[in-house]
Amino acid sequence: MNFAVEAFLNEVWQEVTTIYAKESKRINELKNRSRLQAGINDYLRVAWRKGKFTWANGRIHIDVHEPFSWSDSSYEVEAGTYITELTNELLIEEFFPALCERVDRLFRSEELGASFFDYKFEVVFEFEWEQSKLSFNHQFINEPKLSQLKQILEQFVHTKVLSDPPVLPGEKEFFFFANHLVNPDLMKQEVKEVEPLIQRLSDKLKTNQERKNAWISQYTAAFKHWAQDYFLPRHFNQTGFYGNEWVLKEDAIHSSVDAGEMDFFLYTAVQIGFTEPNTRLKYLELAVQLGSKRAADYLKIGSGKFANTYRGERVEARNNDVLQMIDIRILSEEEAAYGEAIDYIIDLLRQGFPKGYNLKLKSSQKHVLPFKMLAKSKLHQFFANALNCRALFPKIAEYADTAMEEFAWYSDVEPGEKSVMPGTYAVLGLGLYSEDYFPLVCRYMDLVDTEHQMVQDGYAQAFIEAHGVKAEHMPVIVSILLAGNDEGRQVKNLTIDRPELAEALIETLKGKEIHELEMVLCRVFGSVKKLEGAARKAESPLKEGLEQLLALNGG
C-alpha cells in the first residue's frame, strides 16, 4: 500500500475507533431498547474538505451519523504532509477499498456489541481538490441480521398488531414499526400490504387517543421520509432555500414511473393530508406532473366514491373527499336554500364523507355566532347564517348528531387553538338560541376532547349572556363547565347569589368525582378559598347552601 494512503487511512481509522469506543459504551448502557431496532449505527462519512486558500490546507471531516443538510457536526482531524502525495488513482484504487474492508470487518463482527450496528451500513467518501471533487459510497448488508429482523417484525405484527385487544405495542415501538412499513428491505410498499396494518393498529388504539395521536404522528412522518428520501428524488430535483421545492428532472419520462410506486405515493399523500393538507396538495400536484391521471382526478373530483356535483333549485354544490372539501353556493338567500344545503351535507356524511371537512361558501349573508372564541371561517359563517332561520333548528340538530365525532377536527382552520370538533358551530349556536337543544349541548360537552380543544372554555360566559343563570339550567351549565380544559378560568358572569341557585348546583354536583367538584367550584367561585369567603359573608339561607357546597368538596 502506498505510504500516503496508509498514513491517511491510519489517521482516519484511529479517529473512527476512538469515536466508536465512546459510542459503544453509551449504547451498551441503554436500557429497554425496542426489539424492532436491529442496531443503531448505519452510516460513516469520511471527507477531505479543502482549505480556504489552497486545497492542501484543509482538514479531515468524519461523520458517524448522516448529517442534516443545514448542519455541520463533523469530527475534524488535522492531516500530515502526506495529503499532498495523494492522487485520484490512489484514492480510488487503494484508499477507498481499504477503508471499506476495515468497515466491513468491524460491521460483521460483534466487537462493539450486538446492538452497535444496524443490519445495513453505508460508507461515504468525499475528497475535495482545488477545482474538483471525488465522491464514492458503498452499502453493506448483514444478511443474518436482516433475516432475524424480518422474523422479529413478522412476530411483532402477529402478536402486537393483528392480535385482539387489549394487547398493544409499546409506544416506543411506534417509530420503528412505522419506518419498517416503508422499508423495502422489510416490507413491500403496496397499499394492500401496509393499509390493513395501519388501520388495525389505529382501531386498537381508538380508546387511548394520546397513543393513537402518537401512532398517527409516527406513520405520517415515516410516509414523508419515504416520499422525500426515496420516491421524489428519483424524478425531481430538490430546490429552494430549505429544500422544500421540487422541480421535475429534464430527463424524467412519465412511463418510467413504476405504477406500484405511484399507487403507494398517492396513498401516502392522502394519509399525510389528514394532518398536513398542504403537503397532500403539493404531493398530488407533483404526481400530476409525472402523468398520474388518478392524482389529477383526486384534485378535480376526489376519489369518485361520491357524486362530485349537485345542482338544486336554490343551491349548487361540489365536493372532494380526498381534499376533504365541500363547496356550497347559495343561489337564493332564503330558509329553504340553507335547508337544502344542510340536507346535502348530511347525506354526504351518512355515505362516509370525512366529517372533518372544510367548507367553501358563496353567500351574500355573513353572520357569525355571538361567541368570540370561534374562528371566523366560512364553515362558521354557513351555520351562523342557517341559525338565523328558527324553522331549520331541527335540521341543524340532525346535522350535529350526524357530524359529532370524538377526537375528530374540522379542517376549516390550521391546527391550533381554534380547531373544533365536527358539529361545533351547529351545537353551540343551537345552545345559545334555544333551550330545546340543551340536551344536545350536554352530549357535545361529554364528547368533546377537553385536552386538545379550547374554544368551549369561553362558552359558559356566552351561554349565560344568552340565558342568564337559572336553577333549571344548572345541569347544562355544569356540563359546560366540566368540558373546560384544566386551565379553565372563572366565569365572570356566573354568580351563585340566590339560595335556589346554590341548591340547584348542589343537586347537580351530587355523585361527581372530587376533581370534577373542584373544577366546577373553581370556575364558579375562582377557588375553594374564595367559596369559603363567600360562605362567611353570605346571609341565610344562601349561607347554608354555600356551606353545603364546601361540604361536598370535603371542606
pLDDT tens readout for residues 269-304: 999 998 899 999 999 999 999 999 999 999 999 999
Helix axes 438-447, 393-403, angle to 10 degrees: 20
Inter-helix orientation angle 277-289/293-300, to 10°: 140
Ramachandran bin of 457, using left for φ above 0, alpha for ψ from -120 to 50, beta for the remaining angles: alpha
The pLDDT, as a whole number, for residue 347 is 98
DSSP 377-400: -HHHHHHHHHTT-GGGHHHHHHHH
Whole-number pLDDT of residue 326: 98
State yes or no: pLDDT of 441 exceeds 70. Answer: yes
Instruction: Note the pLDDT tens digit of each residue in 505-540.
Output: 999 999 899 989 999 999 999 988 999 999 899 889
Percentage, residues of the chain above pLDDT 70 = 97
CA distances from 106 to 42, 101, 489 (A): 12, 9, 61
pLDDT average, residue stretch 459-483? 96
**What's the pLDDT at 488?**
66
Q: Residue 553: what pLDDT? A: 72
Q: What is the DSSP letter of 91?
A: I
Question: pLDDT value at position 219?
Answer: 97
Per-residue confidence band for 555, with pLDDT thresholds at 50, 70 and 90: low
Compute the average pLDDT of residues 57-63.
Answer: 94
How many CB atoms are located within 10 Å of the residue 39 CB? 21
pLDDT, residue 202, reads 95
pLDDT tens, residue by residue, 542-554: 999 999 998 887 6
pLDDT digits (tens, 9 = 90+) for 216-244: 999 999 999 999 999 999 999 988 766 67
Give the rounded percent of residues in the chain with a pLDDT score beyond 90.
83
Angle, helices 173-181 vs 191-204, to 10°: value is: 160
The predicted structure's pLDDT at residue 71: 57
Does the pLDDT value for residue 310 go beyond 80? yes
Question: Strand, coil or helix: what is 200?
Answer: helix
Q: CA angle, corner 26, sides to 23 and 29, nearest 5?
A: 150
The pLDDT value given to residue 486: 66
Whole-number Å distance between alpha carbons of 386 and 525: 36
Please report, for residues 208, 271, 291, the alpha-carbon distance to residue 188 in angstroms, rounded to integers and kept in the order given: 29, 17, 23
Q: Is the pLDDT of residue 72 over 90?
A: no
Nearest-10 crossing angle of helices 474-482, 499-509 = 60
Average pLDDT score over residue span 73-84: 91
CA-wise closest residue to 245 among 292, 296, 286: 286
- Give dist(CA 366, CA 344) in Å, integer: 21
Of 5-14, 239-248, 441-450, the least confident: 239-248
Strand partners, 237: 247
> What φ, ψ does residue 137 adopt, rounded to 5°?
-150, 155
pLDDT band for position 451 (cuts 50, 70, 90)? confident
Tell me, what's the pLDDT at 124?
97
Q: Whats the size of the chain, residue-wise?
A: 555
Say if CB 337 and CB 388 are below 8 A apart.
no
Q: Where are the alpha helices (DSSP H) in 232-377?
A: 259-273, 277-289, 293-300, 335-350
pLDDT of residue 244: 75
Q: Measured between alpha carbons, how far is 182 from 151 in angstroms, rounded to an integer?
A: 17
Q: Cell numbers at residue 315, please?
A: 343551491
Please give the average per-residue pLDDT across 130-142, as a whole number: 95
Model pLDDT, residue 528:
87
The mean of the pLDDT values for the chain is 93
168 confidence band (pLDDT: 50, 70, 90): very high
d(CA 60, CA 51): 11
